[in-house]
Amino acid sequence: MRILPVIARLKARCALLANRVETAKSLTQLSDDEIKTGLPIAFVYATKDGASPSDLINKTSQRVSKRFTVIIAAKTSDAVSEPIEDARDQIKSALIGWEPSATHEPIEFIGGEIVNITGGVTWWKDSYQTFTYNRS
């Protein structure tokens, strides 16, 4: 899965992230400056590809799943705000139903889960998928 179009989409559509969307270099390490002034932030990485068997003889026609994950770091919720949920809502709105290219089906949400809560920062990951075809 090519993730640069996903990153561009999130930068353009998620005001809460204020262009703080990157490829994942580390899943739980940010500098002190980023944690103090740069939250929420999102990291995108390709997760898994899979394909159905081809039903053709001497040719290939496979539906291929392309999965990717968005890791979000945000301040931990308090009595008046839920920053992680606000960021998740914007990201889902930007991605679900979007077709990253003419050869991809619309993106679907797979699921999400907590990664970590530490130092007043909540880490969450949401997974998405789209499908394309291998044909020969």
Mean pLDDT rounded to a whole number for the chain: 87
Q: What is the pLDDT of residue 18?
A: 94
Q: State the Cα–Cα distance between residues 121 and 20, nearest whole angstrom.
A: 16
Q: In what order do the strands lie in the sheet with 21-23?
A: 21-23, 41-51, 61-75, 121-135, 108-118
What average pLDDT score do residues 2-7 get?
A: 95
Task: Give me 61's structure tokens.
Answer: 């026609």
The highest-confidence range among 27-31, 51-55, 90-94, 120-124, by mean pLDDT, is: 90-94
What average pLDDT score do residues 101-110 get?
A: 94
Helices (H) and strands (E) in the chain, counts: 3, 5
pLDDT per residue as tens digits for the range 5-63: 999 999 999 999 999 999 887 655 665 555 666 899 999 999 998 877 767 666 667 88
Q: State the Cα–Cα distance between residues 27 and 95, nearest whole angstrom.
A: 21
Task: Give me 127's structure tokens.
Answer: 């997974």
Helix axes 83-95 and 4-13, enclosed angle (nearest 10)? 120
The torsion of the CA quartet 87, 89, 93, 97, rounded to 10 degrees, works out to 110
Q: Which CATH superfamily includes the segment(s) 4-135?
A: Phage tail protein-like (3.30.2000.10)
Q: What is the pLDDT of residue 51?
A: 78
Q: What is the pLDDT of residue 31?
A: 57
Domain assignments of the chain as residue spans, ordered by start: 4-135
Q: What is the pLDDT of residue 5?
A: 96
